[in-house]
Chains A and B, each alone.
Chain A
Amino acid sequence: MNYSLDTLYEAYRLMKLIREFEERIRDEYQQGKLPGFIHMYRNQEAIAVGACMHLGNDDYIASTHRGHGHCIAKGCGIEDMLLELACKQAGLCKGKGGSMHIADMSKGMLGANAIVGGGPPIAAGAALTARTLGNGMVSMAFIGDGASDQGTVAESLNLAVVLQLPMIFMYENNHYAEFTRNPKPDGRIAERAGAYGMPAVTLDGSDFFAVYEAVGEAVQRGRDGGGPSAVEAVASRYYGHFEGDPQQYRDTAELESSRATSDPIVKFLADDRCRDLESAKIAQIDADIQSILDAGVKRALAAADPTPEQLYSDVYVSYRGEAV
């Protein structure tokens, strides 16, 4: 496959933006400036970017608790996200969602999800909308290796096949279900999906090009009425399950080695297909990212909290006695 320079620069920009966004919020979190739990996506950036670069605002994704990368790759505003992670009134969800429930309907981002395996039935519903309206849109569920064992995922795989939904099961196998090593060999998750009757492939999730090409085929299949597909992207989780998890359950040598060998940004820049990227332009992208983050973090932390009355709003569209 040939890649335009624009595509390559955009892929780099998005992966680097996710990386730097997360490193920045990690710092802020460690200083106690962000509430709740946050879950880091480092070294899985090629999956979100390689997958979402095929999607427009009218396509849908259902994300996971480890969802910042999916949001950014799907086009959510950086400052809007920072405001939400800081649980501010002007955040994407008015501070009522936070990191684990962040969503942006205007970008087709149907929510991070703090229930492991909660997203795939919802993504199947979005695919059902696309099928019913016949509008050529597709829906993608991000699913971790932990979530792959949930019944909701099995039910969604089956429903997607039975109804031939335009849906992509985008598995991210980072080998750890919270604190527990997933004993399944790489590829088993895709085999399961395939057994339901859909094309399913396993690939290196730190390889942007592999993800981009496989998901491109899956998305096209969905748009063409060819039904669902599954992609198992094998990656390595750099940080713990949540920020603050010291990963004492992991072998130090394995962790260090995986960190050193599975950085998707390093691999991307070293790839021969990126030989024509100019270092000055890369440096400019990096500088732009820093200024976006500097400004966004500053504004987010200074922004207004929700007012106490906002506790009560947004439960329903209409309340008692209101006719349609």
Chain B
Amino acid sequence: MSKISIREAINRVLHEEMARDERVVVMGEDVANRENGGVYGITAGLADKFGELRVIDTPITESAIIGAAGGAALTGLRPVAELMFIDFLGVCLDQLMNQIAKFRYMFGGRATTPVTIRTMIGAGSGTGPQHSAILYPLLVAIPGLKVVAPSNAYDAKGLLAQAIRDDDPVIFCEHKGLYTEECEVPDEPYTIPFGLARTVCVGTDVTVVAFSRMVLLSEQAAELLAAEGISVEVIDPRTLSPLDDEAILASVQKTGRLVVVDESNPYCSMASEVSSIVADKGFDYLDAPIKKVTAPHTPVPASPVLELEYVPSVADIVAAIREVAAYE
């Protein structure tokens, strides 16, 4: 075991999987850059080790990057393509939504597209409206895609290895605000199956389902509320599609109360989806209305002051949990 950050965990998996399988290639903007290994250094060292035929710097050309990664996957490679920021979905969505996601289905199950698309999500870095969005709900809504959003280095390592070895297209969402988060991670390679939630902390009074960076904030909220005698169970689904609705329902059955915390904009968010699943399949378990904690229905502002207001805070989560816990 070693204590490493999410950034290091992702870098290690890329090294391990490229060494394990020569069909794995890494492609995107600046990924082969020898000094830095991309904007946040995630792909550092890969080009030196595996060469430029397998670590491919591309022009700034998202449709071609994503489409070519899909075409390469369809024909025998296992590409890990980088969509630098998820906001850039806007300039390549067709290749993802109409091509890659649909290949298997529209070709009658006779095609496999083992492509992984790594992309950065999230506010908190002052990067403003076009570099800070969450947007994963858009992708979760598309049949044929799997969507992953780890909240710690252990999950990041296992889920990325799974993504690369998986035969379906996987969108791997890396929150910028989590890259330096550290935890103990096994040194040897391992995978984590998709669609299995992790219980972050066990509790009996309120279930909190949280995604990506919101898992950390929810954990802090749970610790604060423990002092007040409110026992909070935090569930991190880890994969957004497929979603572990059984684990969520089982927890709500136990606690009878649900708060969903999601950095997405509120409408058609993961918070909406989890609320809908529980209202649909777990209504009888509920002792209180479901409470959603999300970003507001605005773009992400550049101003650090406004951004602080935009992103759900520990205080917002604490308030929501208190409200739900107090409901009679």
Contacts and interface: CB of A to CB of B under 8 A. Distances in A.
Interface string A156-172: 10110011000000000
B178 interface: no
A115 B63 contact: no
A1 interface: no
Contacts of A316: 104, 144, 146, 168
A101 to B, nearest CB: 4
Contacts of A133: 76
B23 to A, nearest CB: 8
B127 to A, nearest CB: 24
Contacts of B193: 321-323
Contact of B71 (A92, A94, A126): A126
Contact of B67 (A104, A122, A130, A158): A122
B15 interface: no
Nearest to B81: A125
A111 B107 contact: yes
Contacts of A259: none
Given A111-B103, A317-B168, A319-B242, A129 B76 contact: yes
B239 to A, nearest CB: 8
Interface in B94-125: 94-95, 98-99, 102-112
Contact of B111 (A103, A152, A319): A103
A125 B74 contact: yes
Contacts of B242: 319-321
Contact of A110 (B25, B74, B95): B74
Contacts of B99: 113, 115, 118, 121-122
Interface size class of B (residues with CB under 8 A): 35 or more
Contacts of A315: 104-105, 143-144
Contacts of B73: 125
B66 interface: yes
Contacts of A111: 103, 106-107
Interface in B114-170: 143-144, 146, 162, 165-168
Interface size class of A (residues with CB under 8 A): 35 or more
B107 A152 contact: no
Given A121-B67, A132-B54, A321 B194 contact: yes
Given A318-B167, A321-B194, A156 B106 contact: no
Interface in A84-137: 91-97, 101, 103-106, 110-111, 113-115, 118, 120-133
Interface string A137-159: 00100000000000110011011
Contacts of A323: 162, 191, 193
Given A314-B104, A315-B143, A125 B191 contact: no
A103 B107 contact: yes
B303 interface: no
Interface in B75-98: 75-77, 79, 94-95, 98
Among B99, B102, B111, the most chain A Cβ lie within 10 Å of the Cβ of B99
B256 interface: no
Contact of A105 (B53, B110, B165): B110
Contacts of B168: 316-318
B104 A159 contact: no
A257 interface: no
Contacts of A2: none
Given A110-B71, A125-B71, A101 B162 contact: no
B64 interface: yes
B109 A94 contact: yes
A189 to B, nearest CB: 18
Contacts, number: 176
A126 B106 contact: no
A18 interface: no
Contacts of A318: 166-168
A324 B162 contact: yes
Contact of A152 (B56, B63, B106): B63
A97 B111 CA distance: 12
Given A118-B94, A121-B63, A158-B61, A314 B68 contact: no
Given A317-B167, A318-B168, A128 B107 contact: no
A60 interface: yes
A313 interface: yes
Contact of B72 (A113, A115, A126, A155): A126
A113 B193 CA distance: 33
B69 interface: yes
A320 B148 CA distance: 13
Given A92-B108, A93-B107, A103-B107, A152 B75 contact: no
6 contacts: A103-B111, A105-B111, A121-B64, A121-B68, A128-B56, A159-B58
Interface of A: 60, 62, 91-97, 101, 103-106, 110-111, 113-115, 118, 120-133, 139, 151-152, 155-156, 158-159, 162-163, 313-324
Given A152-B67, A320-B195, 15 more contacts: A92-B107, A97-B108, A110-B71, A115-B94, A118-B95, A121-B71, A122-B70, A122-B95, A125-B71, A128-B77, A155-B64, A317-B167, A317-B168, A320-B196, A320-B244
Interface of B: 25, 27, 53-54, 56, 58-59, 61, 63-77, 79, 94-95, 98-99, 102-112, 143-144, 146, 162, 165-168, 191, 193-196, 242, 244
The 10 nearest A-B residue pairs measured at CB: A125-B71, A121-B67, A320-B195, A94-B108, A314-B109, A93-B108, A122-B71, A125-B68, A155-B64, A317-B167
